[in-house]
Amino acid sequence: MGQKKIYIISKPSPTLGRYPFHAGGAGLFGHKNHNNYISEVQKEIDALGYEWVVMADDTEGDIEEIVKKGVMLVVCAPGLRFQFYCGKFNKKRVIYLNTMDYASGNAHPVIKKLIEIERGN
């Protein structure tokens, strides 16, 4: 079937009145942690042998663009629970990371959901 996509969102969804460079540095954690988290999740996925690819969001949190790209799972950095608009995207396929999981590179929440999706739940 090909690779399934996981998007890591680090910026809020575009909204009227939002300054376009808001969270330009990926919030409290910066881009270093963002890239580290992506690497850690991809390492775990590869070790399990799944054909999924983890990518940094390139749509500025625009859910319509995310859906068009065929993303299967969305992972939001800490602080985006009320700033990311899911629209018609399956809310059961959105993970909101807590600060400790994100900062420490804990891939377990993503892997748990990925396995759940693979099993068809």
Q: Give the pLDDT of residue 97.
A: 93
For the chain, the domains span 4-118
30-59 confidence digits (pLDDT tens): 545 678 999 999 999 999 999 999 999 998
Q: Give the pLDDT of residue 26.
A: 46
Edge-first strand listing for the sheet containing 52-56: 52-56, 4-9, 71-76, 94-96
Where does 4-118 sit in CATH, by number?
3.40.50.2300
99-116 confidence digits (pLDDT tens): 999 989 999 999 999 999
4-25 confidence digits (pLDDT tens): 999 998 877 665 555 555 444 4
The single-letter DSSP state of residue 59 is: S
- Cβ neighbourhood burial of 38 (10 Å; 0-12, 13-18, 19+): buried
For the whole model, what pTM was predicted? 0.83
